[in-house]
Structure 1
Amino acid sequence: MRRALIPVFLVLLTGPVAAGQALSERAEGGWRLGFPAGQSTLDAAARDALAGIAPALAALPQGRITVEAQASGPSDDASLARRLSLARAGAVRDALVAAGLPATRIDIRALGRRDPPADIAEILPPGAPRAESGPAPRSTR
């Protein structure tokens, strides 16, 4: 019975990412959580939404969950964007752990400012596509 409630609950959580913190499903798999610009803390609704998906992630038989976070600004300070995205990824990881997902199954990636800029964290189950890391490799001819 409990297993049947998880998909129904996840449908209730979906919706567009607004300026605040809203959890939505990604078409590629996983979830996206929006953050207000410049902030890294989770509000009560975001913590509750993450607590709703944590049991489904914990029930996966194997594999690691990745939390990738981004920050939209400022464009002239890559270090600040990277630190903000790291704080966001850590806040999401902490909420998932508080909801019962083992910390040893979670990887975090601070992506900093990407193109296009976004204020989000993505929760990616095993097999979901991850963001490309860094620029394309250069030819060494």
Structure 2
Amino acid sequence: MAWTLLAAAPLAAQPAAEPVPAEPAAAPPDPANLSPRPALAQPVPAAAMPRPFALPPGMEARPDGAWRLRFAQGAEAAPPAADAALAELGRRLAAGPDGRVVVLAQASGPADVSTARRVSLARGLAVKEALVAGGLPPTRVDIRPLGRTPEAADAVDVQPPPARSAPGPAR
């Protein structure tokens, strides 16, 4: 048997080799920030700014943004002169940012802890009632009857909701 050499048939044309892709990036790129950008602060015209309301005698604005109403020693009801100012304060708090309003009530006496706590609770409820009369929803008011404190003040402090900062980028 003789071996014969057959000529190799020409192979079909092969496509050109694709270039090898570059190495992948070390980390994926940061996601796109699609949140709306806050608008630049514009000056508020004086006519649009809320007018300060007159505080009655015995009521003062505190440096921390709260308002303090003074009570006569042993009194549980808010002074009648403060009703209109508390109603106006309730209207302003209702129109302001959402959040909880905290009413901190305290009493200077008596020495009995339980009685002092009840007096401060009655004061806090009286202030809450006046704020609600101005339009503040009662579910937004937290009362904290402190009873007799080291300050020994016959007063109720109304603390507005804390100011919320603008949300930052999501992480």
TM-score range, shorter chain: 0.7 to 0.9
**Residues 33-112 of structure 1 aligned to structure 2 (within 5 Å):** 33-75=69-111, 77-112=112-147
**1:94 & 1:7 partners in 2: Cα distance?**
24
Q: Which has the larger radius of gyration?
A: 2
**RMSD over equivalenced CA pairs, Å:** 2.0
> In 2 relative to 1, CA 79–24 (structure 1 residues): closer, same or farther, beyond 3 Å?
same
* Structure 1 residue 13 corresponds to structure 2 residue 48: no
> In 2 relative to 1, CA 93–62 (structure 1 residues): closer, same or farther, beyond 3 Å?
same
**1:127 & 1:111 partners in 2: Cα distance?**
20
> In 2 relative to 1, CA 3–40 (structure 1 residues): closer, same or farther, beyond 3 Å?
farther
The residue type equivalent to 2:91 in the other structure is P
The structural deviation recorded for 1:74 is 1.6
The residue type equivalent to 1:113 in the other structure is R
Pick 1 or 2: higher relative contact order, CA cutoff 8 A, min separation 6. 1
Larger helix fraction of residues: 1
**2:63 & 2:85 partners in 1: Cα distance?**
18
Which whole-Å deviations, capped at 9, do the CAs of 1:4-55 have from their partners, x for residues lacking one? 3x4322xx317xxxxxx62110101110000000001123211111012112
Any unmatched runs of 5+ in structure 1?
15-20, 129-141
SS at match of 1:111: strand
**1:119 & 1:111 partners in 2: Cα distance?**
11
> In 2 relative to 1, CA 82–55 (structure 1 residues): closer, same or farther, beyond 3 Å?
same
**2:117 & 2:127 partners in 1: Cα distance?**
15
The structural deviation recorded for 1:127 is 2.0
**2:90 & 2:136 partners in 1: Cα distance?**
6
* Structure 1 ranges of 4+ moved more than 6 A: none
Aligned twin of 2:60 = 24
Please tell me whether the aligned partners of residues 91 and 131 of structure 2 are also in contact (alpha carbons under 8 angstroms). Answer: no
- How many residues are matched? 118
For normalisation by structure 1, the TM-score amounts to: 0.76
SS at match of 2:114: helix
* Structure 1 residue 113 corresponds to structure 2 residue 148: yes
**1:72 & 1:44 partners in 2: Cα distance?**
21
